[in-house]
A and B are shown apart, each in its own frame.
Chain A
């Protein structure tokens, strides 16, 4: 089974400009495990997703489908075959 990770524009320079990354996964795998796999495949994402304490940075929002994992089981939220995992960045542009 596999899941799709949606990569937001600001992070695409770390994923060879790819907007989606497919990660093979197994039954019972969690968001945390999937994101670790993404970082293994694209190591320069590490410092953008994780802080020095090894935890997801507070401004990185992760959604499974259309649900914020903070309102599910956080990084321990399990994923299913075909799950779409989105990293939602803060973007600020609009005036200049």
Chain B
């Protein structure tokens, strides 16, 4: 249970009316509602997860609600970020969110933090709050939120989503594992697409954010079983919930008994984002570059535009066969946002295919110079030459 004092906390007659359905439940009661009023919760990220979090935590009567975000509302946010409406497009999220939340509940205090959470401000920001909720959208900030929570002893109510899949947990190093005990290191950049690249079902953050809200309220009330040491997985397509056991990593760099990291670090660098993605400007890439991209685990589609008979003779592992003459009908099977490397036998057909794709918006389409012939000679001699 969160350490909170309700001494001196009173509910006004208006508040008693508003929270009456809470007050009549023994698990909440007057004391519980006072605990909610005494609590200070910080939501990091006012987006898909931050929307239900903000709305329900405000409605529940959390006394002080902080919101960290620096973005403006974009039209593409509206299919899931239900805090905002059409008229908010172009407005700063914090301002738009607070207009809405004030309307939801005028009895609570709202703290705007219109800033990017960073290693320089996180500990100072977190110090004023009892519970931190992670509603961010990128690995550097997730690791930052975790480490700052560990260092300041605060619970981190974690939620994350991708397409149709969500994860929820409560990472609280004093009582269980932290995020780093599970995910010691981030995946290399580019391997896991963001929602901006991979898409997300609009209702999914609503579900996951509501589950996070439930955990926040339980932590404050001190009732039920918090998701400490448990990772809840939600699959919206299969419509199933699963639960995995998490344990503290005795060698965790931040939350173990002998941590190797005792302060916040440069999380952009930690997540390998120090350098912008460097992609060649040329149409052609060499077999060596393709080898490197594959070794780096860079997400890419390898398209083989030879004929099926040639494909039967030999192929590069993982390639998709789309014979050149079928490309006009089948290019929509490919993702124009993704790196697409096209090859044929020696290069001429794939050069035409690459130019064709570039004309259709595949800005990251490349031709494998020398085709599978060069690949065989320079990279993988097990591929027969023909």
Question: Chain A residues in contact with chain B, CB under 8 A?
Answer: 8-10, 14, 19, 43-44, 47-48, 52, 57-59, 61, 63, 66-68, 70-71, 86, 88-96
Contact = CB atoms under 8 A, between A and B. Distances in A.
Contact of B138 (A44, A58, A86, A92): A92
A29 B294 CA distance: 29
Bin the interface of chain B by size. 35 or more
B196 interface: yes
A68 B230 CA distance: 11
A92 B142 contact: yes
Contacts of A66: 242-245
B45 interface: yes
Contacts of B208: 94
B184 A58 contact: yes
Given A91-B165, A94-B47, 10 more contacts: A52-B295, A59-B187, A66-B244, A71-B247, A89-B162, A91-B160, A91-B161, A91-B192, A93-B194, A95-B71
B161 A90 contact: no
B184 A93 contact: no
List the 7 shortest-distance A-B pairs measured between CB atoms, nearest first.
A95-B47, A95-B137, A44-B318, A95-B45, A93-B195, A91-B162, A94-B49
B14 interface: no
B139 interface: yes
Contact of A90 (B50, B183, B244, B247): B183
Nearest to A44: B318
A91 B162 CA distance: 6
Nearest to B298: A47
B185 A92 contact: no
A88 B182 CA distance: 10
13 contacts: A9-B163, A19-B235, A47-B295, A48-B297, A58-B184, A59-B184, A59-B187, A67-B244, A90-B183, A92-B136, A93-B137, A95-B71, A95-B136
A90 B205 contact: no
Contact of A58 (B135, B136, B185): B185
